[in-house]
């Protein structure tokens, strides 16, 4: 069993405390990872409760299968599959977004620019194409758009042109070190303390795993599967994710009026924003990777859910 690559769960107690409203209900950990949230949640649930976990990563699935608990099930799927659960069937949904420490720290996964490894970055290595495969055929404009839109990299154009030029001259990029060196030679200025390749690696990872599209699908699905007063808890680690979550909660936290029928009763709001939590100074000191985390908590409104509003 994997032991070399360790993971420290971010906002562990805070997330479970925000999620748990009943001890006899069904909950969803939509990003099992290494199971920190799931294990703590199981320790606080009663014998009739259920916990359904999702993850795309085979190593995470292997970890999940070490949990010998009849209340727990794991699905080798991304959280875009949340919509397959029955309507109004769960009391809480937890989404802990982004990449886990074992994925970053294991060079074979290709997520990190600090350790050389194959240029992969797939969270599910059984499906889809790797970053190396995509970069081997993508056009300059496609690459530039991905790096700009998902990495917010102002040098996206030069990086994309350098990637394609390198491909023409010496063949496609194959390793993380090759990509990191190429980006470092192209991005001439960067924020203090940040590696020049940070934004490019983030962008390619988000794109190849369709992370933002999947997040939007999961958020919409959560509205359908949450019971009245069920909780939605989302931990994000960069502004693109948090912006989507913040806007989603805000959009569904207000009544909707039909301008074509001004005298009709408005559609009730579907969510109620409850909290925004960041890691404590002590947690950030103990686990520096937690410093950018933001946890947003919302509650499914009783009226909207009981009316069957999707």
The pLDDT tens digits for 44-74 are 999 999 999 999 999 999 999 999 999 999 9
Name 234's bridge partners.
95, 296
Residue 236 φ/ψ, nearest 5 degrees? -120, 160
Number of H helices, E strands in the chain: 13, 7
* Higher per-residue pLDDT: 286 or 113: 286
Residue 118 φ/ψ, nearest 5 degrees? -65, 145
Handedness of CA 29, 34, 36, 40 (dihedral sign): positive
Give the count of beta carbons closer than 10 Å to the beta carbon of residue 58: 13
Distance, in Å, from the CA atom of 308 to the CA atom of 301, rounded to the nearest integer, reads: 11
12-101+211-306 is classed CATH 2.60.40.10? no
Question: Any idea which of 69-83, 139-153, 252-266 has the lowest mean pLDDT?
Answer: 252-266
**pLDDT band at residue 3 using 50, 70 and 90 as cut-offs:** very low
Model-wide pTM > 0.85: yes
Write down the pLDDT at residue 112.
84
Q: What is the CATH number of domain 125-208?
A: 1.10.150.170
Distance, in Å, from the CA atom of 261 to the CA atom of 149, rounded to the nearest integer, reads: 38
Residue ranges per structural domain of the chain: 12-101+211-306, 125-208
Strands of 26-29's sheet, edge to edge? 72-75, 50-54, 26-29, 90-96, 226-236, 294-300, 271-277
């Amino acid at each position: 069993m994997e032991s070399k690559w360790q993971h420290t769960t971010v906002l562990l107690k805070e997330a479970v405390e925000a999620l748990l409203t009943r001890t006899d209900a069904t909950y969803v950990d939509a990003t099992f990872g290494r199971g920190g949230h799931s294990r703590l949640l199981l320790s606080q649930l009663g014998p009739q409760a259920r916990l359904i976990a999702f993850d795309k990563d085979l190593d995470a699935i292997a970890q999940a299968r070490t949990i010998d608990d009849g209340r727990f099930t794991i699905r080798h799927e991304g959280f875009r599959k949340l919509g397959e659960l029955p309507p109004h069937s769960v009391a809480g949904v937890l989404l802990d977004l982004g990449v886990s420490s074992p994925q970053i720290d294991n060079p074979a996964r290709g997520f990190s620019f600090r350790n050389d490894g194959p240029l992969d970055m797939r969270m599910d290595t059984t499906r889809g194409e790797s970053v190396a495969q995509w970069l081997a055929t993508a056009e300059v404009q496609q690459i530039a758009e991905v790096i700009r839109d998902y990495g917010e990299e102002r040098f996206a154009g030069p990086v994309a042109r350098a990637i394609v030029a390198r491909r023409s001259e010496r063949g496609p990029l194959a390793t993380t070190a090759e990509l990191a060196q190429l980006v470092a030679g192209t991005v001439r200025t960067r924020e203090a303390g940040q590696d020049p390749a940070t934004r490019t690696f983030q962008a390619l990872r988000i794109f190849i795993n369709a992370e933002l599209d999947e997040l939007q699908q999961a958020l919409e699905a959560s509205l359908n599967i949450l019971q009245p007063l069920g909780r939605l808890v989302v931990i994000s680690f960069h502004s693109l994710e948090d912006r989507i979550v913040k806007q989603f909660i805000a959009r569904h936290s207000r009544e909707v009026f039909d301008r074509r029928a001004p005298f009709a009763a408005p559609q009730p709001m579907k969510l109620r924003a409850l909290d925004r939590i960041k890691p404590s100074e002590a947690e950030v000191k103990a686990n520096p990777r937690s410093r950018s985390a933001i946890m947003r908590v919302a509650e499914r409104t009783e009226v909207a859910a009981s009316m069957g509003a999707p």
